[in-house]
Amino acid sequence: MDLLFFYKALAVGFAIAAPVGPIGALCIQRTLKRGLPAGLAVGLGAALADGTYGAVAAFGLVSVMDFFVAWQDVLKIGGGVFLILLGIKAIVIYADADRLPERPILPFLAPGGKLGLAGEVIATFALTLTNPMTILSFIAIFAGLGLMHAGGETSQSIGLTVGVFVGSALWWVLLSGFVTAIRGRIPDTALPWINRFAGALLIGFGAAAITT
């Protein structure tokens, strides 16, 4: 495996994951409410999705690209609705978890739910995949860096895929780790308001995904 391809792909994965967006807001909210494992689970789901898109771009899977592009409007609406539900849950349930009974909108995402952290990974993976523009970003960046199709070599394509996953995962580890580090310094009375703010962001991102 060409290490240069790997390091370039790692940088690409980190750069695409780093901008603030709905998954970032979700990772912060989950980390504040449920701790580092929940934040890492969200990050793992996002990194797996980024790695999947990276693989599609690296291996030149045109049919898969065409599918996501053809269904991008449906995927955006589905992802937007999902984000709005998560935002409502953060505001109504998570923010007042000490006073309100647990009535999860999405049972598999509930604390102590049947799937637990695995549910966080699966849900975030699916949510990240609902943004087809991500794959177009990978294609554009890979082409600009001369990485498209990795020269036709399977080993290099695998290196690109792994590099994107590692780079994305590195960002989520840093983000959830940072939030965990400052979590103890945040007054308990402020946490519900932070949850409400994060929920409002998720609802905003969801509405934007549906209307744009």
- Length reported for the chain: 212
Q: What is the value of pTM for the model shown?
A: 0.73
**Over the range 114-131, which residues count as b (16 or more CB within 10 Å of their CB) and which as e?**
eebbebbbbbbbebbbbb
By residue range, what is the domain housing residue 85? 3-211
Q: Are the C-beta atoms of residues 58 and 157 closer than 8 Å to each other?
A: yes
Structural domains of the chain, count: 1
From first to last of its 212 residues, what are the pLDDT tens digits of the chain? 567 778 888 988 898 888 767 888 889 888 988 889 999 999 999 999 988 888 887 777 666 666 666 777 776 787 778 778 877 876 776 554 444 334 443 444 444 445 578 888 988 898 888 776 676 676 667 666 666 555 456 777 788 888 889 999 999 999 999 999 988 887 767 777 777 787 788 788 778 778 87
